A and B are shown apart, each in its own frame.
Chain A
Amino acid sequence: MEDTNLFKLKVVTPQRVFYESDVDMVEFRTTEGDIGVLKGHIPLTAVISPGLMRIHETDEVKEAALLAGIVRIMPDEVTVLAEVCEWPDEIDITRANEAKIRAERRLKSTDGEVNITRAERALRRALVRINLADRK
């Protein structure tokens, strides 16, 4: 192999193997912040927080919405156990917009029964989806 900077990236969701290929770099957001992973990263297990995943292939950058899951990084292999992961063309923009409005309303209401963390999470998910779909 001439290019030794490639490593294996595998993104699996409960429904299917979402992505599997050799890549240059992958960026995503964890609970501790955005990280970019190159080959030879130290072994790390991190928890995903809703954000954009950018997959840098040799001559192309692919983007996807990565919304929940765990990532397991080994020096020559990265496995993303995604609960929810979508390509831009799979995002249902109307639904995302609705979810955003719903979450905003829930956050504004002073009702004590509202689960704030859940609404916040829903809002963040909706925003990631809308951002990515709009950019297309």
Chain B
Amino acid sequence: MASMRDIKRRKSSVSSTQQITKAMKLVSTVKLQKAKGVAQDTKPYFDCMYETITEVIAKAGTIDHRFLRQGQSTKKAFIVITGNRGLAGGYNSNAIKMVTESGIEKEDIVIFALGRKGRDTLARRGYTIKNDYSDVINEPLFSDAVRIGEDVLEGYCNGEYGEIFLVYTVFKNTVSQEAVCIRLLPVDKPDEDENEKENTIESLTLMNFEPDPEEALDMIVPKYINSLIYGGIIESIASENGARMQAMDNATNNAQTMINDLSLKYNRARQAAITQELTEIVAGASAIS
């Protein structure tokens, strides 16, 4: 059995770790509240944007536009949103997995990284990192999303990339987040939206565009992409804090279980020591008499 001193040392080490995890949990709870607020404020914009873009594309269905057809290049650009810090449970690794397990050859992938964790891991595994915007994660602005959007669009229009993907983490609720990979370009035609589709198409025949649909696409699609990137960043930040909060909550609970276990062991060891001492004294006394 471990000595009393060893157990005591171990216990104090676990409890100081627990203090840290507890503090981190509190911090990420506060950050989560903030990030959730931001995500809620931005939601109406993306909902409207999504509606508009579906309409435009449904209307422009027959148009052979460069944003709607597959690019020539086999290269695929991935915008990967992860955190700048670790200790957030599976948050970072789940997002990275979306890239590594996408079934696309490593050589064909070009990474635009947001978040140091994702950038470092992917670089270590031998992916090409084209650009790094990790500072954006701390204070995301819409103009940052616009900048990233412009960078990838430029590559797409030059024919450098055939497809553009966005990897981010959907914030379902505080306890569940899910990493997803969506295709930004070419824009998916909304054929998959089964039931609602017919209604939209009907109301659409009335919709006019100014300038004409093709030019409108030219201007609206970049805006759509920017807003998706911005939305992805905002949601990912909320998810990161949610994931960290949960991870730290678990860590705190685990530390508590360990402390309880160690306390029990410590008390047993102490009792054993006392009993042994007593036995020795009694034995010594009886030897004299």
Contact = CB atoms under 8 A, between A and B. Distances in A.
Interface of A: 10, 12-17, 30-32, 42-47, 69-70, 72, 79, 81, 83
Given A14-B45, A47-B220, A32 B207 contact: no
A43 B207 contact: yes
A32 B42 contact: no
Given A70-B49, A70-B219, A81-B45, 14 more contacts: A13-B45, A14-B42, A14-B45, A15-B142, A31-B210, A43-B208, A45-B55, A45-B210, A45-B216, A46-B216, A47-B210, A72-B51, A72-B52, A83-B142
Q: Which of A14, A42, A72, A79 has the most CB of B within 10 A?
A: A14
What bracket does the count of chain B residues touching chain A fall in? 20 to 34
B103 interface: no
A79 B45 CA distance: 10
A46 B219 CA distance: 10
Contact of B209 (A15, A17, A44, A69): A44
B208 A47 contact: no
B45 A12 contact: yes
8 contacts: A10-B48, A12-B48, A31-B210, A31-B211, A42-B206, A47-B211, A47-B216, A69-B223
A85 to B, nearest CB: 11
B42 A15 contact: yes
> 9 smallest A-B Cβ distances: which pairs?
A46-B210, A43-B207, A12-B45, A14-B142, A44-B208, A47-B219, A12-B44, A43-B206, A16-B41
A72 B272 CA distance: 80
Contacts, number: 72
Nearest to B145: A14
A89 B42 CA distance: 22
B228 to A, nearest CB: 11
A17 B226 CA distance: 18
A14 B142 CA distance: 7
Given A12-B48, A69-B223, A70-B223, A32 B41 contact: no
A39 B220 CA distance: 25
Contacts of B55: 45, 72
Contact of A79 (B48, B206, B211, B227): B48
Contacts of B208: 42-45
B281 to A, nearest CB: 77
Contacts of B56: 45
Given A12-B44, A32-B211, A45-B208, A70 B52 contact: yes
Contacts of A83: 142, 146, 223, 226
A15 B40 CA distance: 9
Contacts of A15: 41-42, 142
Contacts of A17: 41, 44
A120 to B, nearest CB: 16
A31 B216 CA distance: 10
